[in-house]
Structure 1
Amino acid sequence: MSLHQRSPESLPVAIIGAGPVGLAAAANLVERGIEFVIYESGDEIASSIRQWGHTRLFSPWKHVVDPASRRLLEATGWQLPAPEGLPTGAELVENYLEPLAALDSLAHRIRTGVMVEAVTRRGMDRTRTALRASTPFLLRARTVEGVEEFTARAVIDTSGTYAYPNSLASSGLDPLGLADVTDRVSHALPDVLGRDRERFAGRHTTVVGAGHSAANTLLALAELTEQEPKTRITWLIRNASAVRVTTSDDDGLAARASIGRRVDALVTAGRIAVVDRFEIVRLGRTDDGVRVYGSRAGELVEHDTDLVVSATGLRPNLAMLREIRLELDEIIEAPKRLAPLIDPNVHTCGTVEPHGFAELTHPEPGFFLAGMKSYGRAPTFLLATGYEQVRSITAWIAGDITAASNVELKLPATAVCSTVCS
């Protein structure tokens, strides 16, 4: 039987992204006896995490290992690292994700260096309805060999959001002049004390953003100032205060709760200069750095700095899904039924209700967003949430509606979370 004649049920499930949630989806499918293929854009698994691997998570080991993955690993003699210990991103990869991906049941089903550029139905654009649900999915991807296409019975998109930052400008568009200063603007969570040290040492860095990614970079820069006294730090935010970094003393994650206090102490001590209520409009190049143009309280203002770190949050790449029938919230770009449960104006990580396939369902049967990408622009994602999502989704794919509907989630209480440091 040729590939084009195969029924959807005989095809594998396509998982986009070999990060923690994508690998967790694979582990659940292994336990269900369902074939799958993982398509990872990087040359190695967990390519995004490796970029911020120097950063320590504020969730301990006991919260960042998927239950199905743990069962597969422990069957080979693997042991969970100290449950209360806080891994860095690199430790998460080395001590958990790499051993998981190396298992015989997963390894030969992972394809790295495959950038999925579009998802559709085979022979159908989004306007065609007849026989749609029974038609296989088609994934078009760019590989080292060129452009390839793959078919699948279902698609779980866990490709994340790290590669797609929000704009520095308050309008949501790239600020005018960005193309002229890209070499002086850094993505979120640069390795200030490691591989990027030379770039930041002895220079004036302005960190833009009001979340935990910004806070982590501020803390690293403050440590750098102790070793390189000429290093200067400015924290630029568009609101009157950085409410997302403010945490309570009863936060269920102690490491998360300490971040805000430590940054506040550095601000009070004068080691971090704060520029608040600054709405960025345009960037310009100077001889030594960047000039940031904006408005503050209705007045035009300028701010000069050597380097800018963009820590303004992340957003999903939806362009690759243009031919898929999505039902997304008009504000945070999360699945419509999920959005009210994760709205950052109402919820923190610890107050997110359990949710699974039902809340993640779209008008496109068999297609799911999961993991960080399912949260759209909401910064309240924790890995434990993503693991329960894919457990439910894979149960639905297996036809086990009882297990798919029985969602449970125990999260650390209170506070606001980072999109990349859960």
Structure 2
Amino acid sequence: MTLLDLTPRVATGDRLATLPVAVIGAGPIGLAAAANLLERGIDVVVYEAGDDVAASIRAWCHIRLFSPWKHLVDPASHRLLAAGGWVLPTPERAPTGTELVEQYLVPLSQVDEMKRRIRTGVEVVAVAREGMDRTRTRARAATPFVLRLRDASGAVTEETARAVIDASGTYTSPNPLSSNGLDLLGLDAIADRVTAALPDVLDGDRATFAGRRVTVVGAGHSAANTLLALVRLARDEPGTTVTWLIRGARAVRVSSSPDDELAGRAHLGSRVDRAAARGEIAVLDGFEILRAERDGDAAVLIGRRRGELVRHQTDVIVNATGFRPDLDMLREVRLDLDDIVEAPKRLAPLIDPNVHSCGTVEPHGFRELTHPERGFFIVGMKSYGRAPTFLLATGYEQVRSVVAWLAGDTAAASTVTLTLPATGVCSTDQAGGCCS
């Protein structure tokens, strides 16, 4: 069998037929995968490391998404919800993360067929084939997958599955602050001064930033959102200063295109530009971060800028440098990944952030997501590797195609269509993602 054969890869022997499909992650894409599987009569178990569904979105739920509701709801999930009377919120309105969770994802997770198949507080720490490592080939496709699990108490167990859909995302795997992609030298000394991307600057995390020197590292949409919030905070909280540290040569990496159909994003870049022109944001571009150290209560980033060694002192650092996939858990799975962006090799050219924006990605499905490991798929944001151009609508079509293929419906799996909003360039590096 060649890599792109259309025959279903999951064998249907007596034992495999009794096992569910395992879905890793109960975010929008993981729940959509489960809804598609249930619609086709395929049993599923969803493993979520967080205490509740959509744990990653809850971490930045104060942010308003760029896409309106009409682009944020998976069709199969919509049908499952509509059977119980659920109605799509205002289609043209873009919700906050909180609204997406409370008005869509929580109700979806509470549908009876879904609820009893979701296991929260359970982290998948590794995936393999039962009784064999990645070097063994004989009868591999007919052998169940085994998932090693760790629960909140630390107990480790293993469960089997007929196929695995990894929709675990990348939010918990941020890129490091260092410009070379390695863990930042000296990070331990300043770790208490570093926050994750998209902090709740104006409310929940206000005390962290008020009256302090704040440095935002990164050049994408996450950085831009945080910078604008900090500018507002600085107007109300004396002593708050805002620095935008960019590791590349250019300060503007976000869309300011009038042709961008995502209105909330279209003017993001120009708003940051205006704030910088007014002196509300100090721009420190071309700063290659080499290491960090502590100076009393302050953090110091040491780097090279225009050929000179530079020290930048600050009180708080926001790491908005983008995300990368956690591949450690897949060490015993046979993958075919692009060398540069770490996306499935056939998908990588379609999502190259140097060429594509969120809205110019071509429709793609199981073919582009196929790996040598039969019955294993990476979907959603994680399938994009280090590329930041992902939209939820793209992930929904991915899982629809993958599930159709797992069900043996090769015609539906091969017919991939996708309507995306016209967009400007999301980002020209790996500095940050698109908030769908």
TM-score tier after normalising by the smaller chain length: over 0.9
The residue aligned with 1:42 is 50
The residue aligned with 2:9 is none
1:172-211, aligned counterparts within 5 Å? Answer: 172-211=181-220
Task: Give the whole-Å Cα distance in 2 for the aligned partners of 1:359 and 1:247.
Answer: 31
Q: Helix, strand or coil: the match of 2:192?
A: helix
The residue aligned with 1:404 is 413
- Matched positions, count: 418
Task: Give the whole-Å Cα distance in 1 for the aligned partners of 2:65 and 2:360.
Answer: 19
Shift of 1:419: 2.5
1:129-144, aligned counterparts within 5 Å? Answer: 129-144=137-152
Q: Helix, strand or coil: the match of 1:391?
A: helix
Shift of 1:369: 0.1
The residue aligned with 1:224 is 233
The answer to whether the Cα contact below 8 Å between 1:233 and 1:273 also exists between their aligned partners in 2 is yes
Shift of 1:255: 0.8
Shift of 1:247: 2.7
Shift of 1:243: 4.2
Out of 374, 397, 406, the position equivalent to 1:365 is 374
Counterpart amino acid of 2:221?
A: H
The residue aligned with 1:288 is 297
The residue aligned with 2:96 is 88
Task: Give the whole-Å Cα distance in 2 for the aligned partners of 1:144 and 1:228.
Answer: 39
Give per-residue Cα distances to partners, 1:261-301, cap 9 Å, x unaligned.
11111011110000010000011111231111000111101
Counterpart amino acid of 1:134?
A: A
Task: Give the whole-Å Cα distance in 2 for the aligned partners of 1:213 and 1:414.
Answer: 17
Counterpart amino acid of 2:113?
A: S
Task: Give the whole-Å Cα distance in 2 for the aligned partners of 1:6 and 1:287.
Answer: 65
Q: Helix, strand or coil: the match of 1:117?
A: strand
Out of 88, 91, 98, the position equivalent to 2:106 is 98
Cα RMSD (Å) of the superposition? 1.1
The residue aligned with 1:12 is 20
Counterpart amino acid of 2:380?
A: G
Out of 146, 161, 164, the position equivalent to 1:152 is 161
Shift of 1:258: 1.4
The residue aligned with 2:402 is 393
Out of 108, 116, 123, the position equivalent to 1:115 is 123
The residue aligned with 1:421 is 435
The residue aligned with 2:62 is 54
Task: Give the whole-Å Cα distance in 2 for the aligned partners of 1:232 and 1:6.
Answer: 65
The answer to whether the Cα contact below 8 Å between 1:211 and 1:242 also exists between their aligned partners in 2 is no
Asked if residue 267 in structure 1 is aligned to residue 281 in structure 2, the reply is no
The answer to whether the Cα contact below 8 Å between 1:382 and 1:419 also exists between their aligned partners in 2 is no
Percent identity of the aligned residues? 67
Counterpart amino acid of 2:202?
A: L
Asked if residue 379 in structure 1 is aligned to residue 403 in structure 2, the reply is no
The answer to whether the Cα contact below 8 Å between 2:66 and 2:264 also exists between their aligned partners in 1 is yes
Shift of 1:75: 1.2
Task: Give the whole-Å Cα distance in 1 for the aligned partners of 2:266 and 2:14.
Answer: 53
Counterpart amino acid of 2:323?
A: L
Shift of 1:74: 1.1
Task: Give the whole-Å Cα distance in 1 for the aligned partners of 2:276 and 2:353.
Answer: 25
Q: For structure 2, list consecutive stretches of 5 or more residues without a partner in the other structure.
A: 1-12, 427-431
Counterpart amino acid of 1:155?
A: V
Asked if residue 352 in structure 1 is aligned to residue 357 in structure 2, the reply is no
Q: Helix, strand or coil: the match of 1:285?
A: strand
The answer to whether the Cα contact below 8 Å between 2:299 and 2:314 also exists between their aligned partners in 1 is yes
Task: Give the whole-Å Cα distance in 1 for the aligned partners of 2:81 and 2:286.
Answer: 49
Shift of 1:415: 1.7
Q: Tell me whether 226-235 or 337-346 shows the greater mean CA deviation.
A: 226-235
Task: Give the whole-Å Cα distance in 1 for the aligned partners of 2:270 and 2:135.
Answer: 52
Q: Helix, strand or coil: the match of 2:267?
A: helix
Counterpart amino acid of 1:44?
A: D
Task: Give the whole-Å Cα distance in 2 for the aligned partners of 1:372 and 1:244.
Answer: 20
The answer to whether the Cα contact below 8 Å between 2:31 and 2:109 also exists between their aligned partners in 1 is yes
Give per-residue Cα distances to partners, 1:65-111, cap 9 Å, x unaligned.
11111111111111111111111111100000000000011000000
The answer to whether the Cα contact below 8 Å between 2:257 and 2:267 also exists between their aligned partners in 1 is no
Task: Give the whole-Å Cα distance in 1 for the aligned partners of 2:152 and 2:90.
Answer: 39
Give per-residue Cα distances to partners, 1:370-394, cap 9 Å, x unaligned.
0000000000000000000000000
Give per-residue Cα distances to partners, 1:96-148, cap 9 Å, x unaligned.
00000000110000000111000000001000000000100000010135101
Out of 130, 133, 139, the position equivalent to 1:125 is 133
The residue aligned with 2:180 is 171
Shift of 1:317: 0.2
Task: Give the whole-Å Cα distance in 1 for the aligned partners of 2:344 and 2:55.
Answer: 25
Q: Helix, strand or coil: the match of 1:244?
A: coil
Shift of 1:405: 0.5
The residue aligned with 2:86 is 78
1:296-307, aligned counterparts within 5 Å? Answer: 296-307=305-316
Task: Give the whole-Å Cα distance in 1 for the aligned partners of 2:424 and 2:72.
Answer: 18
**TM-score normalised by the chain length of structure 2:** 0.94
Q: Helix, strand or coil: the match of 1:256?
A: helix
Shift of 1:193: 0.9
Shift of 1:6: 5.8
**TM-score normalised by the chain length of structure 1:** 0.97
Q: For structure 1, list consecutive stretches of 5 or more residues without a partner in the other structure.
A: none
Q: Tell me whether 223-232 or 359-368 shows the greater mean CA deviation.
A: 223-232
Task: Give the whole-Å Cα distance in 1 for the aligned partners of 2:225 and 2:246.
Answer: 15
Q: Helix, strand or coil: the match of 1:180?
A: helix
Q: Helix, strand or coil: the match of 2:313?
A: strand
The answer to whether the Cα contact below 8 Å between 2:301 and 2:313 also exists between their aligned partners in 1 is yes
Give per-residue Cα distances to partners, 1:18-41, cap 9 Å, x unaligned.
000000001111110100000000
